[in-house]
Amino acid sequence: MKAMLPMNHYDVIVVGGGMVGASIAYGLSKLGRRVVVLDEGDGAMRAARTNFGLVWVQSKGDGMPAYMRWTKRSADQWPGFSEQLQDLTGVSTEYRKDGGLVYCLGDAEAEAQQKKISSLRAQADIFDTEMVDRAALERLLPGARLGREVSAAAYCPHDGHCNPLLLLRALHKALQLSGADYRPDAPAKSVAYRGKRFIVETPQGVVEAGKLVLAAGHGIVPLAKSLGLPAPIVAERGQILVTERFRPFLRLPGSGIRQTADGTILMGTSKENVGLDDRTSVAVGGRIAARAIRILPELASARLNRTWGGIRVLTPDHHPVYAESEECPGAFVAICHSGVTLAAAHAADLAQAISAGSLGDYFAPFHARRFDVPKAA
């Protein structure tokens, strides 16, 4: 006779131990909730492992001012969030907040970027990005030799960057130190809702809780459907190139180029509609490198150490989805591709809302009902 699997009781089950799930679970643990994190482990399709590491405000929220404000709110919380993680775990996320750049090659790109800034500023009065000309850009990057085509850049003082691998390590260590039960190699196989409780089956046994959060990216689709939760997820591949170590010369991160704390240069990222295929390609890598060299010519002689590809977790409009199930109250879904940028807010505001049992009006614009097409009269 088959032995019965152990039943473990918690306040909240978080499905997904990547950047989004770990941030939410850490926030819930800080609030005193007994949390279990169900994770696929090292074999998971981790967006965190293929992340550029930007804490990015500019360019976020076109068409959804609420997302712009949400992003800015998280960026404002990031300094304290990073310091708190290091104090607790001893792990530095290598976070810096010196501002960020979007480089423009030629007048046409500069004009297009200015139009985008004007449009975003008209949508929300918090948008602080501005265009800087080449002379001002050279003053911002005194150690860099810019390519002759670089005409201007968009600069946002709220932007920053970190090491996403160290951030994930810090979050996992923080989960353990704050009393959460982190279970690698324990993906959720099925979920049932009985008597206002959620019962989840895993390879390591059965767990039960009064609340459940689905935050495992592409892996949540079948579970979300069984709970009446929306899961409008779109896959997009991004590729990143990493060079050998350079002298410190690139103080500000840019969209597509940044220097890490150990001196390597990251170049990327592509946007490819290839489903869940995370392989790299010479053609795309070549295009990434060619643009980076046009911006910073000295990269032409750099030795390339490695490349990687990863699958982003996107929604159809690229804005996050946060929702609670109407059929199974207490079941929540969190879908976003800005797991690094939003980590601070996920650990604070979102965790507090989930703990309280209601997303409230603040998160209403992020519901997936915005994708519903009105029926013709």
Average confidence (pLDDT) over 57-71: 94
- pLDDT-based confidence at residue 263 (cuts at 50, 70, 90): very high
Number of helices (H) and strands (E) in the chain: give both, helices first.
9, 17
- 269 shares a domain with 139: no
Q: Is the pLDDT of residue 261 over 50?
A: yes
Q: Provide the mean pLDDT of the chain.
A: 93
Of the chain, the percentage scoring pLDDT greater than 70 comes to: 95
Q: How many domains does the chain have?
A: 3
3-state helix, strand, coil in the chain (%, to 5): 35, 25, 40
Residue 345 lies in a domain: yes
- The pLDDT value recorded for residue 45 is 63
Q: Are residues 238 and 227 in the same domain?
A: no
Question: Per residue in 24-52, pLDDT tens?
Answer: 999 999 999 999 999 987 666 666 667 89
The predicted model gives 233-253 an average pLDDT of: 94
Burial 17-45 (b: 16+ CB within 10 A, else e): bbbbbbbbbbbbbbbebebbbbbbeeebb
Q: Which of 352, 350, 22 minimizes the C-alpha distance to 170?
A: 22
- Record the pTM: 0.94
Considering the domain architecture, whether residues 244 and 310 belong to the same structural domain is answered as yes
Cα-based distances in Å from 95 to 2, 98, 259, 340: 50, 10, 12, 11
Same domain, 105 and 196: no
Let me know if residue 91 belongs to a domain.
no
Where a domain ends, among 314, 333, 360? Answer: 314
pLDDT at 166 over 50: yes
**Helix/strand/coil (H, E, C) string of 287-344?**
HHHHHHHHHCHHHHHCCEEEEEEEEEEECCCCCCEEEECCCCCCEEEEECCCCCCCHH
pLDDT in tens, 126-158: 778 999 999 999 999 999 999 999 999 999 999
**Is 50 part of a structural domain of the chain?**
yes
Residue 2 lies in a domain: no
Domain boundary among the residues 290, 314, 338 is at 314
In this structure, the answer to whether residues 119 and 255 fall within a common structural domain is: no
Question: Interhelix angle for 65-89 vs 106-123, to 10°?
Answer: 90
Residue 58 lies in a domain: yes
Residues 29, 72 within the same domain: yes
Could you read off the pLDDT of 99-122 as tens digits, one per residue? Answer: 999 999 999 999 999 999 999 999
Judge if 274 and 227 occupy the same domain: no
Q: Which of 315, 300, 184, 314 is nearest to 243 (CA)?
A: 300
Does residue 1 lie in a domain region? Answer: no
Return the pLDDT at 375.
Answer: 40
Same domain as 116, residue 73: no
pLDDT in tens, 317-362: 999 999 999 999 999 999 999 999 999 999 999 999 999 999 999 9
Residues 274/237, Cβ–Cβ less than 8 Å: yes
pLDDT at site 5: 37
**DSSP secondary-structure letter at 272?**
B
Q: Round to whole Å and give the CA distance between 313 and 108.
A: 31
* 149/203 same-domain check: no
Q: Is the pLDDT of residue 219 over 80?
A: yes
Per-residue pLDDT tens over the stretch 283-302: 999 999 999 999 999 999 99
Are 169 and 213 contained in the same domain? yes
Query: Please, how many CA atoms are within 13 Å of residue 263, restricted to the half-sphere of its CB?
Result: 7
Which pLDDT score is estimated for 373?
62
Band of the pLDDT at 243, cuts 50, 70, 90? Answer: very high
Residue 174 sits in the same domain as residue 199: yes
Contact 68, 56 (CB under 8 A): no
Phi, psi for 132 (deg, rounded to 5): -120, 140
Judge whether 196 lies within some domain. Answer: yes
Cβ(165)–Cβ(178) below 8 Å:
no
CATH number at residue 278: 3.30.9.10
**Domain with 222 in it: what CATH number?**
3.50.50.60
Average of per-residue pLDDT across 156-175: 96
Q: Which of 157, 177, 196 is the last residue of a domain?
A: 157
- Strands (DSSP E) contained in 73-189 are 100-105, 130-133, 150-156, 160-161, 181-183
Q: Which of 340, 359, 354, 316 is nearest to 97 (CA)?
A: 340
Could you tell me if 272 and 284 lie in one domain?
Answer: yes
121 found inside a domain: yes
- Domain of residue 238 covers 234-314
